[in-house]
Structure 1
Amino acid sequence: IVLVLLFIGGSDANPAARRHSQLDVNHKKQPLQTFRPYNIAHRGSNGEIPEETAAAYLRAIDEGTDFIETDILASEDGHLICFHDVTLDNTTDIASRTEFAGRKRTYEVQGVNMTGWFTVDFTLRELKSLRVKQRFSFRDQQYNGKYNILTFDEFILIALHADRVVGIYPEIKNPIFINQHVKWSGGKKFEDKFVETLLKYGYKGKYMSEDWLMKPLFIQSFAPTSLIYISNITNAPKLLLIDETTVPTQDTNQVRSAVSPTFFLYQVHHPKTPSFQRPF
């Protein structure tokens, strides 16, 4: 497990003209380059195309990205989706949809009360009916309303259908909140469904292993307990994301200085130790 501070931006470009390739995912592809730092398309090529949409990811692949990055949340009926915020307010047309006007809720998220339309209160079918828009007014608005919300499966297939090896860089987003509001059969958790989806498409293997080079993957989260949990079910590389030095983690409410590499590795091997106790 790697401890990192990650700041990656989207790129500014015109949208991809071509449609999603239907290439055989098993055909011989140009391998992932490993001789220079990786180019990671954060939420796709979102400088011009609305973030985390198929078009944004296809354009990033056309531009030569090594990895496409996304945030994973869940719908009310347990489907994993690619979406950054737990609320739909900022990047969809939900506010203009009169049929959903009465679905606003107030929930506590990371210790703060938030009001809005939450992904966990909508089925996948309802979420698919929404249209995505740009987060910021200074970005190109001409593609607003043209694309819908992606599922995690659809995101993975975009990478697998590329004409070269393209890695994926998904984030386990707000896992405490998701596990509180979405329930899966058999007592499974958000993290279980996340890893199950990756394994379904053959994503496995340690960093730079033969399996990993064929289907490159980094798993990221601001929640250390989620990364510790999935360490027992996948050996894929994992990265703990850190915000500003005073911003706490999404689950254990720890600031950066309390989450050292030594502490993190200790927690992996001693998962019963309370997460707030730092070994010396």
Structure 2
Amino acid sequence: MASLWHISVLLVLVLLGGSDANPVAPHRSQMDVNHKKPLQTFRPFNIAHRGSNGEIPEETTEAYVRAIEEGADFIETDILASKDGHLICFHDVTLDNTTDIAQRAEFAGRKRTYEVERANMTGWFVVDFTLSELKSLRVKQREDFRDQQYNWKYNIITFDEFILIALYADRVVGIYPEIKDPIFINQHVKWSGGKKFEDKFVETLLKYGYSGEYMSEDWLKQPLFIQCYAPTSLIYISNMTNSPKLFLIDETTVRTQDTNQSYSEITSNGYLKFISKYVIGIGPWKDTVVPPENKHLGPPTDLVARAHALNLQVHPYTFRNENKFLHFNFHQDPYAEYEYWFTEIGVDGLFTDFTGSLHKYQEWTTPYQMKPKNAEALLHQISNMLKDDGY
């Protein structure tokens, strides 16, 4: 049965009409921030990678609602832009892999070939479709070995709609948006006044009240991490917002999409020290932190230790429960993988496709503790009750 909060979130999104043209930012009273259960900050963060996408098609309202219900601290999304300049939540710059675009005869002539990150790519590109056209598409589960029952039931959502899902949650839930392929987006989508993709991205966050340095009062009310693979974008937006940012780091063979730097360059001590002026942490692909050897774990690198020495957090990606993604060391047990990364490697958060299992692990190992002042109040109340009963 759907929760009342789940229903209220869906109602809000319906009332917005599926558009981010003139969204109504919630009032503080609507969100009731001061009376919500706060974000937990005493243990590593549970980051719902594209929502609970191990169960439900990624980057959909339903995937994000499920992730929140399962205990996510942050819901993560990828931000791209439509032809008419609206920001949407979608992972690929092409629509081919997770939508019904190939079955839509009216869009058959829209296939294009563009250069993306220094390589030619052919497909139906997000930037060639208006928001209305994108909203008409239906999405499916990316992986064929996952549950297919939700295919074609849900649609693409906007950045505004994503934000409202977090703001209308019945507890404080953070958001973790990625500025996706900014070089490509800025080449193909133009905004008035010479604004860039990054400008529109930050404007949207500020419109909804997202601001404040990490762990500040404002941040704790509306927690946010901004992520990007392009260091120039992170540096650019650092002049527009003081919200915490993370530099994403790809596989060792992948160069940065904007500066064309190698993995060894961007993980050197000198570069980490440089980028630490703009970011609060890094988000590396997990196999670069602990390289595998024939599906077993190899010796860990010193990347986490070197990042921590510069007060940088480390949020590796992506953790998945299926056996094909688990190294043999974990004996087909995702909880053993969590245990290894938290206790042996010492990371500060994880991107997971299965929010519920990570939340269960954390509740088993580091559950919420009663605050001392609440404990004292409870003892005082019990003492008074006993006195009233003649003890």
Q: TM-score, normalised by structure 1?
A: 0.87
- What is the aligned partner in structure 2 of residue 207 from structure 1? 214
- What is the aligned partner in structure 2 of residue 114 from structure 1? 121
C-alpha displacement of 1:136: 1.0
Amino acid at match of 1:215: Q
C-alpha displacement of 1:226: 0.3
- What is the aligned partner in structure 2 of residue 25 from structure 1? 31
Deviations 1:26-45 (A, max 9, x none): 35211101111111100000
Contact 2:245 2:278 in 1 (8 A): no
- What is the aligned partner in structure 2 of residue 9 from structure 1? none
Supply the distance in 2 between the matched residues of 1:136 and 1:15 (Cα, whole angstroms): 25
Aligned pairs for 1:182-201 within 5 A: 182-201=189-208
Amino acid at match of 2:273: T
Aligned pairs for 1:16-55 within 5 A: 18-21=6-9, 24-27=30-33, 28-55=35-62
Closer/same/farther in 2, CA of residues 266 and 207 from structure 1, 3 Å limit: closer
| Counterpart among 216, 223, 226 of residue 216 in structure 1 | 223
C-alpha displacement of 1:24: 2.0
Q: What is the CA RMSD across the aligned residues, in angstroms? A: 1.8
C-alpha displacement of 1:250: 1.7
Structure 2 SS opposite 1:125: helix
Structure 1 SS opposite 2:121: strand
| Counterpart among 274, 279, 289 of residue 263 in structure 1 | 274
Supply the distance in 2 between the matched residues of 1:115 and 1:190 (Cα, whole angstroms): 22
Structure 2 SS opposite 1:39: strand
Supply the distance in 2 between the matched residues of 1:127 and 1:16 (Cα, whole angstroms): 28
Aligned pairs for 1:71-110 within 5 A: 71-110=78-117
Deviations 1:221-252 (A, max 9, x none): 00000000000000000000001122111211
Q: Quick one: higher RCO (CA 8 Å, sep 6+), 1 or 2?
A: 1
Supply the distance in 2 between the matched residues of 1:115 and 1:87 (Cα, whole angstroms): 8
Contact 1:16 1:59 in 2 (8 A): no
| Counterpart among 231, 250, 254 of residue 243 in structure 1 | 250
Structure holding more helix per residue:
2
Supply the distance in 2 between the matched residues of 1:111 and 1:267 (Cα, whole angstroms): 26
Structure 1: tracts of 5 or more residues without a match: 1-13, 269-280
Amino acid at match of 2:96: D
Closer/same/farther in 2, CA of residues 248 and 15 from structure 1, 3 Å limit: farther
**In the alignment, is residue 160 of structure 1 matched against residue 167 of structure 2?**
yes
| Counterpart among 65, 81, 85 of residue 58 in structure 1 | 65
Contact 2:160 2:204 in 1 (8 A): yes
**In the alignment, is residue 228 of structure 1 matched against residue 216 of structure 2?**
no
**In the alignment, is residue 144 of structure 1 matched against residue 151 of structure 2?**
yes
Closer/same/farther in 2, CA of residues 15 and 42 from structure 1, 3 Å limit: farther
Contact 2:234 2:278 in 1 (8 A): no
Q: TM-score, normalised by structure 2?
A: 0.63
The structure with the largest alpha-carbon Rg is: 2
Supply the distance in 1 between the matched residues of 2:152 and 2:276 (Cα, whole angstroms): 44
Q: How many residues align?
A: 255
C-alpha displacement of 1:261: 1.3
Supply the distance in 2 between the matched residues of 1:19 and 1:64 (Cα, whole angstroms): 18
Supply the distance in 2 between the matched residues of 1:37 and 1:103 (Cα, whole angstroms): 44
Contact 1:16 1:58 in 2 (8 A): no
Contact 2:238 2:278 in 1 (8 A): no
Deviations 1:160-208 (A, max 9, x none): 0000000000000000000000000000000000000000000000000
C-alpha displacement of 1:20: 4.2
Supply the distance in 1 between the matched residues of 2:212 and 2:73 (Cα, whole angstroms): 18
Q: More deviation in 28-37 or 85-94?
A: 28-37
Identical counterparts, % of pairs: 78
Deviations 1:116-162 (A, max 9, x none): 00000000000000001111111111101111001000000000000
